[in-house]
Amino acid sequence: MTYIRTDGRKVNDLRPMEAKVGVIKNARGSAMFKIGKTIAYAAVYGPREMHPKFMQNVERGTLRCNYNMMAFSGSGNRVRPGPSRRSKEIGLVTQNALAPVIDLTEYPKTVVDVYIELLQTDAGTRCAGICAASLALADAGFKMKDLVCAVSCGLVGDTPVLDLDYSEEAYEGGAVDVPMAMIPRTGEITLMQLDGVISREQLQRAMELAREGCQKIYEVQKEALRAKFSSMEVEAGETGVSSPPSKGNREA
């Protein structure tokens, strides 16, 4: 039986989205990404010397991602504060999803830290975190081949759908969640996880929906970057001051 979404969306509809960069004053780069009721903030610090030194890469900088859900962010029970096995796993997943697009060869022996905080959650948290982190790295001025877009897809009952919310993940008839991240220009998939049982045909359909969804997210991300740098150009023109230089210089 075909599943009918309770919020009125079609199977290929995303929840309402919002994105903004430059939201954290003291960070090198920062961003907010909101999809539905899930809100992720990301802040980038570095490059700075990596400690302990035996972990340094002499050829390039190291990307390190930290994921955290605020204690009050969950729609259900209060989230236990502090690092957990799940948060460490998602931090590593995020790091691996972003690594193919960022070039840190100019910063050997250093580390670039990305801190992701979820202020409010309603499913799709790791995907929202990846979208926010990708924007924050771009805002920080690092060389990147492209942005990374991420969204969940999967099954609710027997119906492939895009962008599951919490009620769909907890559907009594059974649900399968497939978080997926990709590089829009090349179509390269940098993350795909599977929680549940799904047929090959259903998975292929869900992935098609995710690819379509990532392209829509990509447009929202690009618009957020355009909005910031367009406003900078306007301000520079009004004051007669040239635009600030790139943030590509190494920090202490």
Percent of the chain at pLDDT above 90? 79
pLDDT digits (tens, 9 = 90+) for 126-172: 999 999 999 999 999 999 999 999 999 999 999 999 999 999 999 98
What pLDDT was estimated at residue 249? 42
3-state SS, 105-134, equals CCCCCEEEEEEEEEEECCCCHHHHHHHHHH
- Asked if residue 152 is part of any domain, the answer here is yes
- Asked if residue 48 is part of any domain, the answer here is yes
- Asked if residue 245 is part of any domain, the answer here is no
- Asked if residue 236 is part of any domain, the answer here is no
Residue 192: φ, ψ to 5°: -155, 120
CA distances to 90, 93, 109, 129, 146 from 66, in Å: 8, 10, 19, 10, 21
Buried b (16+ CB within 10 A) or exposed e, 136-160: bbbbbebebebbbbbbbbbbbbebb
- Asked if residue 249 is part of any domain, the answer here is no
| pLDDT bracket for residue 82 (50, 70, 90) | low
pLDDT digits (tens, 9 = 90+) for 193-228: 998 899 999 999 999 999 999 999 999 999 999 998
Q: Any alpha helices (H) in 26-162, and if so which ranges? A: 85-98, 125-139
- Asked if residue 49 is part of any domain, the answer here is yes
What pLDDT was estimated at residue 251? 46
- Asked if residue 2 is part of any domain, the answer here is no
Domain that holds residue 122: 17-225
- Asked if residue 12 is part of any domain, the answer here is no
> Domain total for the chain?
1
pTM: 0.89
Provide the CATH number for the domain around residue 156: 3.30.230.70
- Distance in angstroms (rounded) separating the CA atoms of residues 221 and 136: 10
Within 10 A of 128 (CB to CB), how many other CB atoms are there?
30
| pLDDT bracket for residue 2 (50, 70, 90) | confident
